[in-house]
Amino acid sequence: MSSAKPEAVSDGLTRRSASRPLASLTVLSGPSGVGKSTVIQELRAHHSDLWVSVSATTRKPRPGEVHGVHYYFVDDAEFDEMVERGDLLEWAVFAGNKYGTPRAPVEARRAAGVPVLLEIDLQGARQIRRNSPDARLVFLAPPSWDELVRRLVGRGTEAPEVIERRLAAAREELAAEEEFDVTLVNTDVKTVCQQLVALTRSS
């Protein structure tokens, strides 16, 4: 594992004055396989005015994933230390791995007037709802259950037992859709991104 830590503060950010409100905080969640990572990739490439938080995880990197870009890859001991210090805005265990959102960079960008998007799972979204009631929760839904299963199986990156766990979790996540403020159906990535950007600007 790399010893590089999630950023504590971001260089070049202007501290918020007492009169400036915090920039919007938008949470994107939805079942595994719905296409959240593809949406995030598109946002990072074409919507630089919206900052997408980088999560910390104990999961092993997938091919092509870069530490500090896609995730902060840490071991269990490092992750537990972050939890104990209160360094995470939210955290959860999913499919046997831990995921969490580093608090400092999110707060720094909001204070500097930069809209923030978090891409997290249902457990994390519920924590954000409790801890940051001003956040807007967006549910990304698949066009259909069959399409979701096809996407999960078609990845070819995970063992069958992991896929089964993800499908079981997906059923629970789909049932929680009513807990969210907005639902977007992922039939077209560019359209979803445009809708998300519009939501962050209207917050």
Annotated binding-site residue? 21: no
Q: Phi/psi class of residue 64: alpha, beta or left (left: φ > 0; alpha: ψ in -120 to 50)? A: left
Annotated binding-site residue? 203: no
Q: Residue 122: which of 102, 99, 145 has the closest Cα?
A: 99
DSSP state for residue 4 in the 8-state scheme: P
Annotated binding-site residue? 64: no
Annotated binding-site residue? 156: no
Annotated binding-site residue? 37: yes
DSSP letter string, 31-78:
-TTSSHHHHHHHHHHH-TTSEEPPEEE-SPPPTT--BTTTEEE--HHH
Token reading at 87: 């360094």
Strand 51-52 relative to strand 55-57, pairing:
unpaired
Annotated binding-site residue? 34: yes
**Residues marked as binding for ATP?**
30-37
**Residues marked as binding?**
30-37
